[in-house]
Amino acid sequence: MNHRLKRREYFQKTVQKIIVPGTDAISGFTLHKELENYVRAGISEAEVLKMATIISTEVAGYANQLGPIEEGKLPDLILVEGNPLEKIKRYQTSCVDR
């Protein structure tokens, strides 16, 4: 079994709901690089985006107010060019920036 797979399995079993991106630096300024580093450490792009959105909202206590596009919640959308699940760096360039 390769090291990346072992790290991913360990992450899924133990660390997944402990890591909340963006909490240890000036919010927004280092978040993109932090997300890239999680992928480099072996966490899938899908899990990294989940950590930065769903899990962060849950940990902050806003899961009942924010999140998916559904009645009674305040949705937040980010449009990006390309698929960030294929390459996390695509998350850095939103369509609004253009």
**pTM (predicted TM-score):** 0.68
pLDDT tens, position by position, 57-68: 887 888 888 877
- For residue 7, give every residue at least 6 positions away whose Cβ sits within 8 Å of its Cβ, in sequence order, or none: 41, 42, 43
The pLDDT, as a whole number, for residue 41 is 87
Mean pLDDT, rounded, of the chain: 76
pLDDT tens, position by position, 28-51: 668 888 888 888 888 888 988 888
Percent of the chain's residues with pLDDT above 90? 0
To the nearest 10°, report the CA torsion of 56, 15, 6, 42: 30
